[in-house]
Structure 1
Amino acid sequence: MTKEMDITFTETKTTIEKERASTLISDFKSLFKAPVLIANALPVFVGFWLALHFTGDSLLANSRLFWLTIIGSTILMAGALVLNNWYDVDIDTVMKRTQKRPTVTGNISLNTVLGIGIGLSAAGLIMLMFTTMEAAIYGFVGWFTYVIMYTMWTKRKYTLNTVIGSISGAVTPMIGWAAIAPSYHMVPIMLFIILFIWQMPHTFAIAMRKYNEYKVANVAMLPVVRGFKMTKRQMFVYTACLLPLPFYLGALGMVFVVLATILNVGFLAVSIRGFFAKDDDKWAYVMFMYSVNYIAILFLLMVAVTLPPIF
């Protein structure tokens, strides 16, 4: 009987430990906003890759610099996202989609979250300083824009919060490029502009789908303050602004220009459908999904067309 009780106790203890480990992993994934972190790492890589391509350098010869750039920028971004969670705990408590974050549930104390955010931010910036100072400056600009300008200043007060926040995401390819070469080149500048413009309809689509949550939390997103009609008009304008940009990247080849233009036309077509949509939530979801796939395909295409020939 005692032996059976010991076995049961051991099994129960093991189950509890597994559940705690699973919860901890889930909490940290939520705290670091894992999907956002991964999405921001891709443009850094593409910027680095294209800088190697246009300078005639190789990834193998710059492997140490590559890992410093990728890991440093990712850690810095993670720090910014953690600080965003720390500061926005009152909003996250109200919004349904963020109520399971560890800052809301109390699984991780706010002081601990603050310490993690500051520590990661400092560590990431220091790592970028071991690449080039220009890359580190772009990293700091992204961090400052997201944490101070967006999270702490404009998010709750102005609809321009999306414009401000877009700067932090747009500098990511500049970090990667600047780790290899000075960024006063048409390619990294165009990558910045593409990412900056793309984030507007992408974020507006999210804001439309989460309209009720943002309204309850008093977050000054454009759909909440100015309504869906104005939001749709702005989404159309921003997607239209993407149309000429591939032609400034002719150095990537005609295949890229043609395919990127097709992607842009599709993006514009989806935005136009919004003016005739009977179900705004359904259309906003389609717009969101197109925007996610659009930017991933576009940046992966940049890598694909610059791969060295196999033969």
Structure 2
Amino acid sequence: MSRQVVTSSDLSSTDFASEKEDQTSIAADMKSLFKLPVLIANAVPIFAGFWLAVYFTDASFAANFGIFLLTIIGSTLVMGGALVLNNWYDVDIDTVMNRTQTRPTVTGNIGLRTVLWIGVASSVSGIVMLAFTTLEAVIYALVGWFTYVVLYTMWSKRRYTLNTVIGSISGAVTPLIGWAALAPVSNIVPVMLALMIFIWQMPHTFAIAIRKYDEYKAANVAMLPVVHGMEMTKRQMVIYITCLLPLPFYLFSLGTAFVVIATLLNIGYFALAISGLFVKDTRKWADKMFMVSVNYLMVIFVVAIIVTGPWVG
């Protein structure tokens, strides 16, 4: 009978593999806890707001780079803290919904008390950093945080279909934070961009609610399609996207190219929304609406940055 000999090198490689796996697991848990894709999506409008404030005030980005770092890191910490607290509070809902069952609050990989402290610490740290920019930026960040954590997560999400409207406020303040960190929000550009985000979030969230209808229903979350049905939800989406149509025409200060691109996006978005009133496979249509809405906002802000860059002259 042969005897297997375990050498020290075997143990070392095993320990290394285990340690690497643990690190990967921790990174995945933190990514899920902070909802990294959502965090990144919200950071882009903040950057755009700051960038546009530099452009319209004839300031120097390089000279204000320190303020920019405080703004982008501080606001990201505030948003991240809000998202973590949302995970902490919604653990019972996340346990029911398939798409959220891998979150560390559900799996138990990170204790709920720890999650609470992470959320609070991140939020406070972010506000402190923003306090070194301007009071106006802090106010917008606090409005976004309070709206998302208290008014949306803790109060309206489980009770009212208007939870989507309330939650949209938290996303809408992002370009205002970026702009206000450098200059007072007295220009129509950040206001219109904030309004675009606010309106856009309605059809975007409705598309998600249709795609995840069964999960929201099982978790007893008061989303519009769960409470009032698919047809009303699709009509609401058309109405909100219609409200987006005139907004680019208030932004001619960003240039004709921006207005044309934003208008074409709106027309395409509107046409797809209208088609939803006649489709039989609502879920498949909602998948298309979701993909379009995700890319819509990114294109709007990337184009706004590009057309105001120093390379345009």
With the shorter chain as reference, the TM-score category is over 0.9
Structure 1 CA distance, aligned partners of 2:309 and 2:112?
45
Written as runs of structure 1 = structure 2, the 5 A alignment for 1:212-291 is: 212-291=214-293
**Who is 2:62 aligned against?**
60
**Over residues 238-261 of structure 1, what are the superposed CA-to-partner deviations in whole Å (9 max), with x where a residue is unaligned?**
001000000000111111111110
**Who is 1:176 aligned against?**
178
Structure 1 CA distance, aligned partners of 2:212 and 2:4?
55
Structure 2 CA distance, aligned partners of 1:153 and 1:185?
33
Letter in 2 for 1:148: V
Q: Give RMSD over aligned pairs.
A: 1.2
Structure 2 CA distance, aligned partners of 1:169 and 1:103?
24
The count of aligned residue pairs is 311
Written as runs of structure 1 = structure 2, the 5 A alignment for 1:144-183 is: 144-183=146-185
3-state DSSP class of the match of 1:276?
coil
Q: CA deviation at 1:161?
A: 0.3
Moved more, 79-88 or 2-11: 2-11
User: TM-score with structure 1 length normalisation?
Assistant: 0.98
**Who is 1:43 aligned against?**
45
Structure 1 CA distance, aligned partners of 2:234 and 2:122?
37
Structure 1 CA distance, aligned partners of 2:283 and 2:149?
29
> Please, which runs of 5 or more residues in structure 1 have no aligned partner?
none
Letter in 2 for 1:41: A
Structure 2 CA distance, aligned partners of 1:308 and 1:11?
52
Compare the two structures and name the one with the higher helix fraction: 1
Structure 1 CA distance, aligned partners of 2:130 and 2:12?
47
**Who is 1:18 aligned against?**
20
Letter in 1 for 2:215: E
Q: CA deviation at 1:15?
A: 1.6
Q: CA deviation at 1:5?
A: 3.3
Structure 1 CA distance, aligned partners of 2:278 and 2:7?
66
Q: Is 2:35 aligned against 1:30? A: no
Structure 1 CA distance, aligned partners of 2:259 and 2:27?
42
Moved more, 148-157 or 10-19: 10-19
Q: CA deviation at 1:19?
A: 1.1
Identical aligned residues as a percent: 63
Q: CA deviation at 1:310?
A: 6.2
User: TM-score with structure 2 length normalisation?
Assistant: 0.97
Structure 1 CA distance, aligned partners of 2:207 and 2:100?
18
